[in-house]
Structure 1
């Protein structure tokens, strides 16, 4: 999977969008993002075009319109950060798994929500984890993304768990005052 290299300002805008979206759940207006990152709305619109092209943002038309982050947006922000493996907790049937590092979370089938799968790349043993077990991954270090899923398959050779995503959320960060 190719990781997307974001410019610092794209990163800032995307982070503002994901934070605002967690609070609002609705599409976020360009003006609100502009206010958060201290840029003018025109700049935001231009940046959004490139973020849309990268499939990190969806434009929502209409009076309630604006922008929504795709699942890939959370992933892109995460990849920017996960250059060194941070410890992302992994729970298996409600128990934290010791000695396993989550290296990467790949939300590749984002465009088919009904097939929503996450590939979780691990370091360590996953011998005790079986199909249809409940697994929770997260919170991730940056976007605090938590994925609750059911094991759909595993690739022992490459240490990958395939999860059917049951729930995915990223709580809003407390604004730093």
Structure 2
């Protein structure tokens, strides 16, 4: 668990930086982050100063410059930085989302007889996800679990989607692991 306490705004901006850096593998301009989080570029520059002071981001000077997350940024967000993470596909309204990967699934109400919910942790942009959109997660690498559901809400600071689960499927044979 990280000992750095971030404000919701700092967490949202840092998460956007990590996602954009993962997507482009290059320094991310403040304007790109501003567009991703729907904020003013000046606000992003101001927040980056505090994130630099916390050693969570580094500035890259020059025309191809911008910002890069540090190792501490991944720790502060409790993200593992994997060179080749296992791919857990995500579909949104029937279309595969190419620039997103599922990093975790929490089943939050498995004991409730009528309501089944999940929290989906994403790596990638959540900008195009909205309430009542249909989403399919999976198959997961080991169990081949596939979850289909409807978006109940999203948390940009945590980069999570809350789903009302419409269905879950997994093969009945033993997985190969």
What TM-score do the two structures reach when normalised by structure 2? 0.50
What TM-score do the two structures reach when normalised by structure 1? 0.50
Structure showing the higher helix proportion among its residues: 1
